Every structure is written in structure tokens, then in C-alpha cells.
């Protein structure tokens, strides 16, 4: 288990604990049609309230270059 210091108080959290601490409201799933990869990232709901789907260029591990990822509502399951 990996432990690391998160704040000034000297509290140590494991990686699993941090995943549960993050707010689920701000998370957005990005999906790449070319590779079938999905990435979870944070989204500012206040600034992007009326915006259409979020599109970002992210690094694809399969293609080893930057590719466009678009926002989806849910995670795609592997077949």
C-alpha cells in the first residue's frame, strides 16, 4: 500500500482512501472512439454548466500520441 502526505497537517492517506474522498459530482468520463479507451477527469460544473460535451486532447497509451476524447455519461464496458 502506498501512503503519501496530502496536506499540511501531516495526515497520510492511501490511494484507495483518496478515491473515495473525491467528489463524484465533478468527475467526467472521457471516451476515445479510435482506441476505445476511457479516462476519468475532473470538470468544473459552475463554469461549464451550459456547455456542450467536453472534448479534450489527451495522451493515448495505445496510439502513443495525443487524441481527442469526448465526454460520455457512463463508462463503457469492455467486450
DSSP string, 1-56: --EEE-STT--EEEHHHHHHHS-GGGEEEEE-TTT--EEEEE--TTTTSS----EE
Q: How many domains does the chain have?
A: 1
Name the pLDDT band for 41 (thresholds 50, 70, 90): confident
**Confidence label for 10 from pLDDT (cuts 50, 70 and 90):** low
Q: What is residue 1's predicted lDDT score, i.e. its pLDDT?
A: 46
Domain residue limits at 52 = 24-79
Mean pLDDT within 32-51: 86
The CATH number for 69's domain is 2.20.28
19 found inside a domain: no
For residue 74, being part of any structural domain is answered with yes
Amino acid at each position: 500500500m502506498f501512503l503519501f502526505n496530502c496536506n499540511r497537517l501531516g495526515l497520510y492517506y492511501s490511494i484507495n482512501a483518496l478515491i473515495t474522498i473525491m467528489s463524484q459530482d465533478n468527475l467526467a468520463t472521457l471516451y476515445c472512439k479510435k482506441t476505445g479507451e476511457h479516462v476519468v477527469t475532473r470538470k468544473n460544473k459552475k463554469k461549464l454548466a451550459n456547455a456542450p460535451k467536453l472534448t479534450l486532447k489527451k495522451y493515448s497509451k495505445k496510439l502513443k500520441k495525443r487524441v481527442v476524447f469526448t465526454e460520455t455519461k457512463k463508462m463503457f464496458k469492455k467486450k
